[in-house]
């Protein structure tokens, strides 16, 4: 039997995972792997109608509901929106997060992302991944792990702004469940996401981008990822997998 993996997502806000990589996490869970979702910030600015404490409380509930739909264990790190910085203390929090969860795979955000909470989390998680296995770091609470997790970056909103993906994951069967997870973030729909960014229907956004990535890799819906290119994050494969051009039921009459 294949080894069961532990997967850690390190993202910034409640609902990031649902937009960027929930389908892939649902696949991991379905195949028996353990998934942790670590969210850096509470979402306290994510409303045009609620106060900070009000929306924070609402979003904590929504984050838990989203994680429940995905089947992941939620970890709220308690930072405030816009205040996730690459400082020494926060870096140590990420070292401890990785030690505590002991992941084989980390999925985080891109350093070129449009919001600094996102890009900072992406750097913090990546910059903590190697050090989680190093001893004698003062101020950390958990013992070192015995390996260096492999780090991938999920796609950010408006994904064409950053480099093309390295990997696609077919989420056709998981797509409805991904939407259901995103639906749990009710406070964001019809309020913040629409008023702040001017996109009326974020479900359409998720559908269109998942379809685009699916079209690029030959399935109906997909999520895409980049691997962190620096040594020693890449793993060697003995042989390259074959490219297969298959016709999908949803894509009949294709090329
Ligand atoms: Zn976010």
pTM for the predicted model, two decimal places: 0.92
What's the gap in Å between 113 CA and the centre of ligand 1?
A: 10
Spatial CA neighbour of 176 closest among 226, 220, 212: 220
Residue range 11-35: average pLDDT? Answer: 97
Ligand 1: centre distance to CA 1 (Å): 36
- For the ranges 100-104, 140-144, 193-197, the lowest mean pLDDT is seen at 193-197
The DSSP symbol for 15 reads T
Q: Could you tell me the distance, in angstroms and rounded to a whole number, from the CA of residue 60 to the centre of ligand 1?
A: 14
Q: What is the pLDDT of residues 49-76, one digit of tens each?
A: 999 999 999 999 999 999 999 999 999 9
Higher pLDDT, 74 or 240: 74
At 91-139, the pLDDT tens digits run: 999 999 999 999 999 999 998 888 999 999 999 999 999 999 999 999 9
- Kindly give the distance from the C-alpha atom of residue 28 to the centroid of ligand 1, in angstroms, as a whole number: 22
Question: Which residues have a beta carbon within 5 Å of ligand 1, which is an ion?
Answer: 12-13, 16
Structure-token pair, residue 253: 């009459």
Give the pLDDT band (50/70/90) at residue 249: low
Please report the sign of the dihedral spanned by the C-alpha atoms of residue 145, residue 223, residue 34, residue 140: positive
Tell me the two tokens of residue 84.
Answer: 């996730």
In our burial notation (b when 16+ CB lie closer than 10 A, e otherwise), range 12-50 reads bbbbbbbbbbbbbbbbbbeeebbbbbbbbbbbbbbbeeb
Question: Domain-by-domain residue ranges, the chain?
Answer: 6-251
- Choice among 83-92, 96-105, 152-161, 165-174 with the minimum mean pLDDT: 152-161
Strands 222-227, 150-154: pairing is: antiparallel
Round to whole Å and give the CA distance between 243 and 202.
33
d(CA 125, CA 204): 30
Structure-token match 């969210």, residue found? 39
Q: Report pLDDT for 112.
A: 83
What's the confidence (pLDDT) of residue 255?
Answer: 40
Paired strand residues for 150: 105
Distance 118 CA to ligand 1 centre (A): 6
Task: Assign domain 6-251 to its CATH superfamily.
Answer: LmbE-like (3.40.50.10320)
Q: Residue 227, Cα to own-chain centre: how many angstroms?
A: 13
Using pLDDT thresholds of 50, 70 and 90, give the confidence band for residue 247: low
């Amino acid at each position: 039997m294949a080894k069961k993996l532990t997967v850690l997502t390190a993202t910034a806000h409640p609902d990031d995972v649902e937009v960027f990589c929930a389908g892939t996490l649902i696949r991991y869970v379905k195949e028996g792997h353990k998934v942790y979702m670590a969210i850096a910030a509470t979402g306290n600015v994510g409303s045009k109608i609620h106060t900070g404490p009000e929306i924070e409380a609402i979003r904590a509930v929504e984050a838990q509901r989203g994680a429940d739909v995905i089947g992941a264990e939620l970890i709220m790190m308690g930072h405030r929106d816009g205040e996730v910085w690459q400082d020494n203390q926060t870096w140590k929090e990420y070292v401890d997060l990785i030690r505590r969860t002991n992941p084989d795979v980390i999925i985080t955000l891109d350093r070129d992302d449009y919001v600094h909470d996102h890009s900072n989390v992406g750097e913090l998680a990546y910059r903590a991944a190697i050090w989680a296995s190093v001893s004698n770091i003062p101020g950390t609470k958990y013992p070192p792990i015995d390996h260096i997790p492999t780090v991938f970056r999920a796609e950010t909103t408006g994904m064409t702004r950053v480099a093309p993906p390295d990997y696609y994951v077919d989420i056709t069967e998981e797509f409805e469940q991904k939407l259901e997870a995103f639906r749990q973030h009710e406070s964001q729909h019809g309020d913040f996401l629409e008023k702040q960014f001017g996109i009326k229907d974020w479900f359409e956004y998720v559908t269109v981008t998942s379809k685009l990535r699916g079209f690029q890799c030959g399935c109906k819906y997909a999520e895409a990822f980049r691997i962190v290119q620096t040594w020693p994050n890449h793993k060697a494969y003995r042989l390259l997998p074959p490219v297969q051009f298959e016709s999908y039921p949803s894509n009949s009459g294709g090329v």
